[in-house]
């Protein structure tokens, strides 16, 4: 336990390999919106499983989750 720190902001998740803070009871969709991402343009993997778009509003992020946010880029 870290002394003096507000526990409600102490939730960490790994996003694209980086440790990132998130709010308690935050849904995946809400997290994406907060990051300024257009939901239609990205694909998600939550803990190595693809999370289909229909489930983003119901899925609540958990401490220690690993999230991959993926999109298309140029390639040959």
Partner 1 sequence: MLPLRGISRDDIIIKNINMKNTLKIGGKELKSRFFMGTGKFANFEEMQKAIIASKADVVTVAVRRVDLDSKTDNILDFIPKDVVLMPNTSGARNADEAVRIAHLAKAAGCGNWIKIEVIPDNQYLLPDNLETLKAIEALVKEDFVVLPYMNPDLVMARRMVEAGAVAIMPLGAPIGSNRGIKTKEIVKIMVKELSVPVIVDAGIGKPSEAAECMEMGCGAVLADTAVATADDSVLMAEAFAEAIEAGRKAYLAGTGGVQESASASSPLTGFLRDS
Residues whose CB falls within 8 Å of the CB of residue 60, separated by 6 or more in sequence, listed in order: 25, 26, 27, 28
Vertex 11 angle, CA 57 and 26, to 5°: 15
Smallest gap from residue 32 Cβ to partner 1 (A) = 10
37 binds partner 1 (CB under 8 A): yes
Smallest gap from residue 45 Cβ to partner 1 (A) = 7
Compute the half-sphere exposure of residue 66: CA atoms within 13 Å on the CB side of its CA: 5
Among 35, 62, 63, 66, binds partner 1 (CB under 8 A): 35
Tokens of 56: 């983003």
76 binds partner 1 (CB under 8 A): yes
14 binds partner 1 (CB under 8 A): no
Among 4, 36, 54, 58, binds partner 1 (CB under 8 A): 36
């Amino acid at each position: 336990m870290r002394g003096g720190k507000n526990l409600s902001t102490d939730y960490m998740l790994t996003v694209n390999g980086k440790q990132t803070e998130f709010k308690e009871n935050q849904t995946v969709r809400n997290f994406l919106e907060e990051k300024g991402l257009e939901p239609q343009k990205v694909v998600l993997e939550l803990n190595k499983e693809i999370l289909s778009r229909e489930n983003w509003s119901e899925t609540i992020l958990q401490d220690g989750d690993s999230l991959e946010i993926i999109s298309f880029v140029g390639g040959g």
